[in-house]
Amino acid sequence: MTEEHRALRDAVRGLLAGHPARVAVEQPGGYDAGLWQRLCKEIGVAGLAVPSAYGGADATLLESCVVLGEWGRQLTPGPMLGCGVLATQALLRAGDSVRLPDVCSGDLIAAVAWPFAATGGRLTGEAHQVLDAGSAEVLLAAAGPTLYEVPVDAPGVAVEPADVLDPTRRLATVRFSDVPGRPIGSVEIPWLRDLACVALSAEQVGAASRAFELTHEYVQQRVQFGRPIGSFQVLQHRLAEAYLRLEAATTASWNAAEAFVAGSAEAPTLAAMAKVYCSEALRAIAAEMVQMHGGIAITWEHDAHLYLRRAYADSQLFGAPETHLDRLAATWLG
């Protein structure tokens, strides 16, 4: 990270620290709307990777990934991934100047959903595991190469909350039945998928980092047989392996983000690699967190089970790791 990245990280971490995930999920919409407004107004998190002409900060996806890392550390509920990254970047790529400033300012929540079928500007189909659809005012629907804007309350639109493993991340199924949409511009679904995988990997690294830190702290405090359990060699070996997983996941995520920002031909491959490796790393580290915390890890009052839930839920978001492994195999093996 650069000095500017560290300053951004510290500012976001300071704001998020006072808003525990387990408290935020009980609020209307499943997240703290006031906190989201502060982050957008004071730090500009939703518009980091957007040019200033559209109300953004003239930064890049790398800066958004710094914020996403902090979002993952705290398991913060809210529209950063879905609205603050996917929606803003989809609108930017489509060349929108109508909705983008309001999304960047935090005054409008938009959800991105794909894929749909479009005939004569009318949309049909359904999309699953859509981020922020339950609190969105506008849906951005990708059908073929075109991005459409659809009001959430338009006739023929149904948004159904999904049953979720992770209570800190609300998802929904979006159904369109011959719904008219406003064409915005061209956005390729593979590009959207790769963007989503890179952004999610940054969140996963943040969650894995915090899970590791909490576990490392705990094994130095928990005493068994007259000494801290962290002094036992078997736990030291397991923590060392977890640390190596974390370092490799951090590299995979950051390399994918850099390639995406540079428009590299390797960006799709690196995005798939980041999705696979960061999913596996977070699951492994979260599992170690539960194991090493013992019985308290499975109580509702402790956050360990939330990190494990997030790990398994994230691994299925935007395609299971096996799906992306098939992509990599097709790329490398022809």
- Give the number of other CB atoms < 10 A from CB of residue 189: 15
With a cut of 90, say whether residue 297 has pLDDT above it.
Answer: no
At 165, the amino acid letter reads: L
Mean pLDDT of the chain: 95
Average pLDDT score over residue span 48-68: 96
Average pLDDT score over residue span 87-102: 95
At 238, the amino acid letter reads: R
Contact assessment for residue 91 and residue 195, using Cβ atoms and an 8 Å cutoff: no
pLDDT score of 186: 96
With a cut of 80, say whether residue 159 has pLDDT above it.
Answer: yes
Average pLDDT score over residue span 141-158: 96
CA angle 89/130/9 to nearest 5° reads 50
Q: Which domains does the chain have, with CATH numbers?
A: 3-186 (1.10.540.10), 189-333 (1.20.140.10)
Contact assessment for residue 43 and residue 12, using Cβ atoms and an 8 Å cutoff: yes
Among residues 111, 90, 83, 119, the alpha carbon closest in space to that of 186 is found at: 90
Q: What does residue 73 show for φ and ψ, rounded to 5 degrees? A: -55, -45
With a cut of 90, say whether residue 300 has pLDDT above it.
Answer: no
pLDDT score of 303: 92
Lowest mean pLDDT of 167-181, 211-225, 292-306, name the range: 292-306
With a cut of 80, say whether residue 43 has pLDDT above it.
Answer: yes
Among residues 68, 66, 86, the alpha carbon closest in space to that of 76 is found at: 68
With a cut of 80, say whether residue 334 has pLDDT above it.
Answer: no
pLDDT above 90 covers a percentage of the chain that reads 88
Among residues 7, 113, 95, 9, the alpha carbon closest in space to that of 51 is found at: 95
Average pLDDT score over residue span 226-243: 93
pTM of the model: 0.95
Structure confidence at residue 254 as a pLDDT band (50, 70, 90): very high
pLDDT score of 212: 97
Structure tokens at 73: 């550390």
